Amino acid sequence: MLRKVCLAAAIVAVTAQPLLAASGVDPQADFKAFRKYFTERFPKVPLNDFVNGPYSMDEGLRKQWKAIDEFPPYEFAVDQGKQMFETPFKNGKTYADCFPNKGIGVRQLYPMFDEKSGEVVTLDVAINKCREANGEKPYDYSKDDMAALTAYMAYTSRGKPMDIKIPNDPRALAAYKAGEEYFYTRRGQLNFSCASCHVQNPGNHIRSEVLAPALGILNAMPIYRSAWGGMGTTSRRLRSCNSQVRGTPLSAESPEYRNVEYFLSYMANGLPISGPGARP
């Protein structure tokens, strides 16, 4: 219901391309509604500050965060990731051979829709595809090596605006729509959706945690969480959320998770990359 109200309040008349009209999917209209909802609900929060999650909502937390960020808990991961990024594979190639701009400052382009496979490819998936193409074993998608490597790549993109493209391709539109639906669908014994916390209740407390707004929530990934005592990826956070609502977590980087990341990242277009981040 909340989503319908938000969209109805903000959608403007547009001349859709034929494919958009036929599919009934209009990402740009969703984007305008999403942005309007959060900026009107939190008029005192500067737009770019939404990427700081709970620290944009709570002044006390913001002061703590500034103090902590003088000695960032994710700094070790950035250093480790840089070393990993620059270390050649056994065949002599490096990650730079797999990415545009040699892998520096490209975090804001992911996830992207791969027309060849017909699927959404996140940065984490792209990293493992690179490794496998060069005869290396893939990393675990939840933490450790993957978290460190993506922390470094995110760090090289800090300040760059999220720039997610949805091509006028029925498969891309279907992936976007599936991600949107996953975000708003209730699940688990608690009957919560992602939106229950991050659209309806940002800034409110759930136990000791201040809930982050959905707008810009992925710009800070990967994150160091005090609750984890270490770094974690987007997959780890999504699986953790599923568990917290007493639902069944999906496999890391499942199509469902990649699609919801596609949806949320598109909603954050134009907001700066702030990762790696730190959260309670």
Which residue type sits at 128?
Answer: N
| β strands within 148-276, DSSP E | 205-206, 209-210, 223-225, 230-232
Sheet strands side by side (includes 277-279): 230-232, 223-225, 277-279
Tokens 């006390």 found at: 60
For residue 102, give every residue at least 6 positions away whose Cβ sits within 8 Å of its Cβ, in sequence order, or none: 96
Which residue of the set 130, 194, 197, 241 is catalytic? 241
Residue 238 · residue 260 · CB < 8 Å: yes
- Active-site residue flag, 241: yes
What positions carry a catalytic annotation?
241
